[in-house]
Amino acid sequence: MLQAVVSGLLLGLIYSLVAVGLTLIWGVMDIVNFAHGDFLMLGMYTSYVLYTSLGIDPLLSIPVAGGFLFVVGVVTYRMIIRRIMHAPMLVQIFTTFGMMIFLRYVIFFFFKPDYRSIGNTVLSGNVKFLGVYVGIPETVAALGAFLTTGVIYWIINHTRIGGAITATSENRVAAQLMGIDPDRIFSLSWGIGGAAAGIAGALLSNFFYIFPEVGGVFGLTAFVVVCFGGFGNIHGAFIAGLIVGLIESLGGYIAPPEYKHLFVYSLFIFLLWLRPRGLLGVT
């Protein structure tokens, strides 16, 4: 049981980081980015390419993956999202869904549907602590996710640019009257959201299989986490990520592993029925 709890918390921290980027974009712009999981996939392939072509360890490729996905997020906003800002929600949904398909099949074209992994990294092996075996790559990934989430939280709550993002998310017209450029804030939010997904992808590449559809695995869970915690709420996304990781891990402990997601989605549906805006969503 303790083993399942520890594994669930480590996994939950990764879910939290992925969800924080997604909920930030939603909180500022009210747009659901269905391609967010595929931004994570691009982060994983960035680490894979750097490792296979230049021999750079995935741990050292984290800044590159984060920076690259920051640029991808900004370019995505400026070239695509800005053009549909005032379009009906259905147009926005189909646009980000189309981006998801496009990114996925670009990777299919260049890398084929093969499952790939990175071996012989500086992070390998297990440690035993209080009778619990913990994988070193998973532990470092969870710590990295925790630190990155903490940095994003600090930026949002303790910096001038974070104050501008918060003001824009609460009332973009009033923020504009105070001299804040909403277009710049939207662009920055997409950049931060993309960087969070890229860093999560680089952390995961140390121990998780890399394949074109891996973004769907984490993207769907990130949506559950964001709904669970409350759309646009970073605190909620962090707490909900831990809860979802725990439920998933404990579900695989008390039932066959193939049914572990059943517990997550059952609780998710129950919560939507009980509290549609999520745990910390504003009512």
pLDDT single digits (tens) 233-274: 788 888 888 888 888 888 888 878 777 888 888 888 888 888
- CA torsion 259→265→152→41, rounded to 10°? 60
Q: Which of 202, 187, 159, 165 is nearest to 61 (CA)?
A: 202
One-letter amino acid for residue 243 of the chain: I
Q: What pLDDT is attached to residue 191?
A: 92
Q: What pLDDT is attached to residue 212?
A: 92
Angle, alpha carbons 10-13-16 (nearest 5°):
155
Q: What pLDDT is attached to residue 101?
A: 92
HSE-up of residue 62 (Cα within 13 Å, Cβ side): 14
Contacts with 45 (C-beta within 8 Å, 6 or more apart), sequence order = 107, 111, 201, 210
Cross-strand partners of 128: 133
Q: What pLDDT is attached to residue 248?
A: 86
- CA torsion 167→220→198→157, rounded to 10°? 20
Contacts with 97 (C-beta within 8 Å, 6 or more apart), sequence order = 34, 35
Q: What pLDDT is attached to residue 38?
A: 92
Report CA-CA distances (Å) from 161 to 60, 66, 85, 149, 188.
Answer: 28, 19, 22, 17, 9
Is residue 9 within 8 Å of 223, Cβ to Cβ? no
Q: What pLDDT is attached to residue 170?
A: 81
Compute the distance between CA of residue 80 and CA of residue 96 in angstroms, rounded to an integer.
9
Q: Which of 267, 191, 193 is nearest to 229 (CA)?
A: 267
Q: Which of 167, 196, 201 is nearest to 184 (CA)?
A: 167
Q: What pLDDT is attached to residue 281?
A: 64
Alpha helix segments (H runs only) across 135-181: 136-158, 160-170, 172-177
Is residue 26 within 8 Å of 223, Cβ to Cβ? no
The model carries a pTM of 0.88
Other Cβ atoms less than 10 A from the Cβ of 142: the count is 24
Residues of the chain with pLDDT under 50: none
Q: What pLDDT is attached to residue 282?
A: 57
In the chain, beta strands by DSSP E: 126-129, 132-135
Q: What pLDDT is attached to residue 276?
A: 76
